Chain A
Amino acid sequence: MSNTIVKMLSDTLAGFGAATWFFFRILGQLPQALLRPRLIVHQVHNAGALSLVIIMTCGLFVGMVLGLQGFDMLARFGSESALGSAAALALVKELGPVVAALLFAGRAGTALASEIGLMRATDQLVAMEVMAVDPFRYVVAPRFLGGIIALPLLTMIFIAIGIFGVQLIGVQQLGVDQGTFWSQMRGSVEIEDIMEGLIKGCVFGVACSLIAVYEGFTAAPTAEGVGRATTRTVVNSAVMTLILDYMITAIML
């Protein structure tokens, strides 16, 4: 029993060590990769376009649920007019970055991991190595950068559409006063709140992109290997996102 726990712990630590080493390998290739903006733009487009529809749909529904629940809760204290600020703070500081990161991991992260894993399984990465092209520069770094640029953008889109959803339910359907809704929101959301959301978006972007490219790159070169890599991308990204979310919140509050 204690043996399995020790083994699990040491495996986890070894995984962190390997991922950290991997991270520095990417950092080493960043200057070279930045010289080819075309590859990065392509990857931002790839990761962004893949997740855009799902981010927008989910943003809308999360916002609408927030409108319903927020209104119900606030009505108990007779303060429905605070709906705008309450919902906006929840979206900007928590729901936006976290849900966007989870969706990103499920859509773009898995796609990245399986794409790189398949490149491994079909010898493409080895072929690059033998052609004296570092796969870190050509494959890993641009995808990593694409991910960390795309996620903060997606987070902002998610938040904007979420607020639209809150407004749709709260103002259009439940009859909160339009003017109060917006002025309350503008009055209570501080620049620090927006910074917190943005920082979370960036940190989650780094974590989810790193996990995706790492799992793909180190996948066993078989069909099961690629499958395992995609599963682990989703699971590890979700766990990492929630842990990091707690840590950033604790630091920033």
Chain B
Amino acid sequence: MTSDRPKTFNLVEISDVHYSIGGRDIFKGLTLEIPRGKITAIMGPSGTGKTTLLRLITGQIRPSRGKVWVDGQDVSRLSRQELYLLRQQIGMLFQNGALLTDLSVFENVAFPVREHTDLPEALIRHLVLTKLQAVGLRGAHRLMPHELSGGMARRVALARAMVRDPDLLIYDEPFAGLDPISMGVILRLLRKVNDALGITSIVVSHDVDEIALVADHSYILAGGKVVASGSPKALKNDQSALVRQFMNGLPDGPVPFHYPAPDYYSDLLD
């Protein structure tokens, strides 16, 4: 990042993080590292706290115990101003896009540029149209967000996340419910952006096959901890029951398919 601090090998380090919300412990001693310049996948069943982890990394919430380091800074100790400075180096793709509904596609992508720089209009136009071209939606730059399909909205959101060439790009469930074209666009861009610009990427997903195509390294979370990690290939060959259940999409295993419930038959007969 821009600072004069020495560059740490890992852009993000999570060490022994505990966090609970609504009386539930989401993390119980989570520890993981995100190396610079790589694509790291965070996988895990729904509701394990993947989005919560991203909220910790971007400083929206603070851990009750443990540390979150981003670019050598302890996120929970930053002032609002320092946090905003750090976030300027982070691009995030939200699951539903989270485009600003009162701005056109063009203005949505231009938004972070306008807010943080004083670039001349011609340059902004150039920047925005190149990013929109990259996601295949240059022709849609005049549309309003409500005129876009879900997949298109997410591609615009990706263009917005990339527009200031961040050092860290975070994708929350980028493949969930996408049409094949948008899926292809995002998969290709993810790899290309990462390699060409030397960006660090964090991809949260439970789409095992797509992740295997792009990720350098994966973590599997369950029960508030990392339960397995390694390259997607290594995980595919992992013999532990939990990893096999998750990677092969088996309904029951160490992670129960059913939410805890009383006995089925007695419940029906009640």
Contacts and interface: CB of A to CB of B under 8 A. Distances in A.
B112 A131 contact: yes
Given A124-B100, A127-B98, 6 more contacts: A122-B96, A126-B94, A131-B92, A132-B84, A132-B85, A132-B116
Interface in B83-103: 83-85, 87-88, 90, 92, 94, 96, 98-101
Contacts of A129: 60, 87
A119 B92 CA distance: 17
A126 B101 CA distance: 14
Contacts of B116: 132
B218 interface: no
Interface residue tally on B, bucketed by range: 10 to 19
Given A127-B92, A129-B60, A132-B85, A122 B115 contact: no
Contacts of A126: 60, 94, 98
Contact of B87 (A119, A123, A130, A138): A130
Interface residues of A, number: 15
A129 B112 CA distance: 11
A192 interface: no
A130 B98 CA distance: 11
A126 B60 CA distance: 9
A73 interface: no
Contacts of A130: 58, 60, 87, 90, 92
Interface in A117-176: 118-119, 122-124, 126-134, 138
12 contacts: A118-B101, A119-B100, A122-B96, A123-B96, A124-B100, A127-B92, A127-B94, A127-B98, A128-B100, A131-B87, A132-B83, A132-B85
B32 to A, nearest CB: 20
B69 interface: no
Nearest to B161: A131
Nearest to B163: A131
A131 to B, nearest CB: 5
A128 B112 CA distance: 9
Nearest to B87: A132
A222 B254 CA distance: 33
Contacts of B99: 124, 127
Contacts of A118: 101
B113 to A, nearest CB: 10
Nearest to B80: A134
Nearest to A131: B112
Interface of B: 58, 60, 83-85, 87-88, 90, 92, 94, 96, 98-101, 111-112, 115-116
A160 B92 CA distance: 51
Looking at A118, A128, A131, which has the most chain B CB atoms within 10 Å of its CB? A131
Given A122-B98, A124-B101, A126-B98, A131 B115 contact: yes
A127 to B, nearest CB: 4
Contacts of A131: 87, 92, 111-112, 115
Residue in A126, A127, A134 with the greatest tally of chain B CB atoms within 10 Å: A127
A137 to B, nearest CB: 9
A147 to B, nearest CB: 17
A129 B96 CA distance: 16
A118 B92 CA distance: 20
Nearest to A138: B115
A193 B226 CA distance: 70
A130 to B, nearest CB: 5
B61 to A, nearest CB: 11
B101 A119 contact: yes
Contacts of B85: 132
Contacts of B60: 126, 129-130
A127 B170 CA distance: 12
Contacts of A122: 96, 98, 101
A137 B98 CA distance: 18
A113 to B, nearest CB: 16
B76 to A, nearest CB: 16
Contacts of A119: 100-101
Contacts of A124: 98-101
Nearest to B85: A132
Contacts of B87: 129-132
Nearest to B54: A130
A2 B233 CA distance: 65
Nearest to B90: A130
Most B C-beta atoms less than 10 A away, residue of A123, A126, A132:
A132
A22 to B, nearest CB: 15
A101 to B, nearest CB: 26
The 3 closest A-B pairs by CB, nearest first: A127-B98, A123-B98, A132-B84
Given A126-B60, A138-B115, A132 B88 contact: yes
Nearest to A42: B102
